[in-house]
Amino acid sequence: MRILAICSVLIALMPGPATAQVPRLPDGHPDLQGLWIKSAGGFQGLFVGSLEGTNFAAPAVGRGAGDGRGGRGAGRGAGGGPPAGLGGFPPPQYEYTPEAEAEKRDRQQRRGYEDPEAHCHLPGVPRGLEQPAGLYPVQIIQDEKYVALLHEYVHDVRIIPTDNSAHPKTYWAWDGDSRGRWEGDTFVVDVTNFNGRTWLDMAGNFVDQNEHVVERFTLTDPDTIVYEATITDPTVFTKPVQERFTLRRVPKEQQILEYSCLEGERSLQHYTDEDGGKKRRAR
Amino acid sequence: MRSPRAPGPALRSATLAAAVVMTTLTVAAQTARTAPSTYVPPRLSDGKTPDFRGIWQVRDTPYVNIEGHPAEKGIAAARSIVIDPADGKIPYKPEALARKQENYRARATSDPSLKCYQAGVPRATYLPSPLQILQSPGNLAIVYQENHAFRVFQPETRPHFDSADWWMGDTRYRWDGDVLVADVVALTDELWLDQAGNYHSADVHVFERYTMTTADTIQYEARLEDSNVYSRPWTLRTFLQRVKQAGARIIEDECLEDANGVRHHISPSDPRSLLKTDLSRRKKP
């Protein structure tokens, strides 16, 4: 009886489930592992057609590929946006300082080919996860010390320690430096130390070296992670940018593949109608 | 090599005598067989799966030339890591050897790694940069620092995805006791095996064995089968050492292109990787 009583006390002390029953690791934290794919929400801009403010794949009635669960077979190459209102997550709103607004407009209208993604560079945070819905999955592997995100897209890797340790002082990276911690059942990641080169999307939205991101991963049911990111950058934005979307579990019979981005990226001409960026290389 | 348990006094002199013989025979013995490791690795949280987690790096220089190389500035001479055939030479077919020699002559410009491509298997293992093994019960992946390449090891029960042409291939694995056994297909023929132009075709099949021989050492073996290029299968062996510095971690490795279109690795600890955007100096449209 006594042992039973102790057990129940231990169970009571474990982080309480926020919502439905979710799988857990032996350490009591939600088990985020598996293969996931973004299903809806967030920025959807895909092509040059979206650059003049008409968001090409913005939620619109009658478009899209079902409920986003079609997985990769349905999602890949389909190019359709999600159906209206799925997930109920509004697209992010960017409020720039006047100088940054002019810079954003210049990038959007004239310098699209400078987008680092067109040059095979790492997408940064949160853009690594913020790829068009249904295109590229992310494999999560987790233990007591790390949550690792292995993105199919340009084999982008983030190995995030869960000890909330301090950011380094002399380190500037495309993906910045990530330090995580558990707040109850939510995995919270603080990301700084960006190298000031990343764009947030293909439409010229950008950040500089002062970007700071707080990400929140919440497993709301065994097959759904709600992802939230708050981006602050005092030299670019007048108020924080909020992103929110869901990751859905990819069926077990599918696996992560390889996405290599090499020189001679053939998508470059999609970024500009001038010269495909051939004459003016980005950096 | 495994470290034997301390023998009793009666055995000690015999062991010493044997040690002299062993030293001279070490190379031959390594070539002839794989000594079974007596080291028992720790386990993951399931109490069953061997725990290979950590940051590891090959400290020798097979990345220069797996068949061995003379000393260069800053690099000591090294023997071949090819253990089979016994002569340490890759058993190329005659026409394949000619292409290898052509590669060697053009190595200063033709090595695919100069373009910051992923290194492939087994080359990624013995690069002069670390790798990290990520594991949890039922999951295994290796992240290589160079060019942020990674491989997700899929269980052997799943058929190979081989209708592709990849830099890091398609990997299946199982546990043979405490040995991690993997096989890899779907590697592209644009890969080299080292800086000396050793190569394989797109039909290569790589069989890997990872054996933890001490708490801080993994013996790595790869057998390559490729009848387009080699007259018979061959095997290389090298050793991964645990990186034990406190706070060590895989850092971001990304190539930047300079004004001449040449790509360079820039450390994220190098201030040149930081681009300070001074918005007020930008021309307004």
**Comparing A172-181, A191-200, B63-72, B158-167, which segment has the lowest mean pLDDT?**
B158-167
Dist. CA B92–CA A205, nearest whole Å: 53
Examine residue B277 and state whether it is found in any structural domain, yes or no: no
Q: Which of A121, A148, A257 sits opposite B134 (nearest CB)?
A: A148
DSSP one-letter code for B223: E
Examine residue B25 and state whether it is found in any structural domain, yes or no: no
Examine residue B163 and state whether it is found in any structural domain, yes or no: yes
* pLDDT recorded at residue A92: 86
Name the pLDDT band for A190 (thresholds 50, 70, 90): very high
* pLDDT recorded at residue A119: 84
b/e per residue, B127-150, with b = 16+ CB within 10 A? bebbbbbbbbbebbbbbbbbbbbb
Listed residue (A100, A278, A132) closest to A196, CA to CA:
A100
Q: Do B161 and A281 touch (CB under 8 A)?
A: no
Q: Enter the tokens of residue A194.
A: 């960006």
Say if residues B79 and B218 touch (Cβ distance below 8 Å). no
Dist. CA A38–CA A33, nearest whole Å: 15
Helices assigned H by DSSP within A95-149: 98-109
Mean pLDDT to the nearest integer, A100-116: 89
Q: How many folded domains does chain B comprise? A: 1
Dist. CA A256–CA A150, nearest whole Å: 9
Listed residue (A105, A107, A102) closest to A117, CA to CA:
A107
Dist. CA B221–CA B182, nearest whole Å: 10
The answer on pLDDT for A24 being more than 60 is yes
In sequence order, the β-bridge partners of residue B183 are B172, B207
Mean pLDDT to the nearest integer, A88-95: 81
Chain B within 8 Å of A273 (Cβ-Cβ)? no
Dist. CA B5–CA A269, nearest whole Å: 66
Say if residues A37 and A75 touch (Cβ distance below 8 Å). yes
The full set of domain ranges for chain A reads 2-271
Q: Which of B132, B167, B252 sits opposite A174 (nearest CB)?
A: B252
The answer on pLDDT for A282 being more than 60 is no
User: Looking at per-residue confidence, does B168 or A132 come out higher?
Assistant: B168
Name the pLDDT band for A74 (thresholds 50, 70, 90): very low
Question: Could you list the residue range(s) of the whole structural domain that residue B71 is in?
Answer: 54-242
In sequence order, the β-bridge partners of residue B154 are B172
Dist. CA B128–CA B56, nearest whole Å: 11
Name the pLDDT band for A19 (thresholds 50, 70, 90): low
How far apart are the two ends of chain B, measured CA to CA in Å?
68
Listed residue (A263, A256, A184, A76) closest to B117, CA to CA:
A263
Q: Do B150 and A157 touch (CB under 8 A)?
A: yes
Dist. CA A256–CA B264, nearest whole Å: 28
Examine residue B36 and state whether it is found in any structural domain, yes or no: no
Examine residue B272 and state whether it is found in any structural domain, yes or no: no
Mutate to test the interface with B, among A260, A261, A279 (most CBs of B within 10 A): A260
How does pLDDT run along chain B (285 residues), one tens digit per residue? 333 333 333 333 343 344 333 333 334 434 444 556 789 999 999 999 999 999 999 999 999 999 999 998 889 999 999 999 999 999 999 999 999 999 999 999 999 998 889 999 999 999 999 999 999 999 999 999 999 999 999 999 999 988 888 999 999 999 999 999 999 999 999 999 999 999 999 999 999 999 999 999 999 999 999 999 999 999 999 999 999 998 899 999 998 777 777 788 888 998 888 888 766 555 544
pLDDT above 70: percentage of residues in chain A = 68
Listed residue (A220, A156, A150, A148) closest to A189, CA to CA:
A148
Reported as a single tens digit per residue, the pLDDT across A31-63 is 999 999 998 654 444 443 334 443 434 333 332
Global pTM reads: 0.83
Chain A partners within 8 Å of B263 (Cβ): 263
* pLDDT recorded at residue B217: 98
Say if residues A127 and A210 touch (Cβ distance below 8 Å). no
Residue in B closest to A155 by C-alpha: B149
Chain B within 8 Å of A78 (Cβ-Cβ)? no
Chain A partners within 8 Å of B243 (Cβ): none
Examine residue B252 and state whether it is found in any structural domain, yes or no: no
Chain B within 8 Å of A10 (Cβ-Cβ)? no
Examine residue B76 and state whether it is found in any structural domain, yes or no: yes
Chain B partners within 8 Å of A208 (Cβ): 276-277, 279
Dist. CA B208–CA B121, nearest whole Å: 9
Chain B within 8 Å of A254 (Cβ-Cβ)? no
Q: Which of B139, B277, B285 sits opposite A110 (nearest CB)?
A: B285
* pLDDT recorded at residue A202: 85
Say if residues B63 and B126 touch (Cβ distance below 8 Å). yes
* pLDDT recorded at residue B182: 98
Mutate to test the interface with A, among B279, B280, B281 (most CBs of A within 10 A): B279
Q: Which of A25, A106, A122 sits opposite B254 (nearest CB)?
A: A122
Residue in B closest to A161 by C-alpha: B249
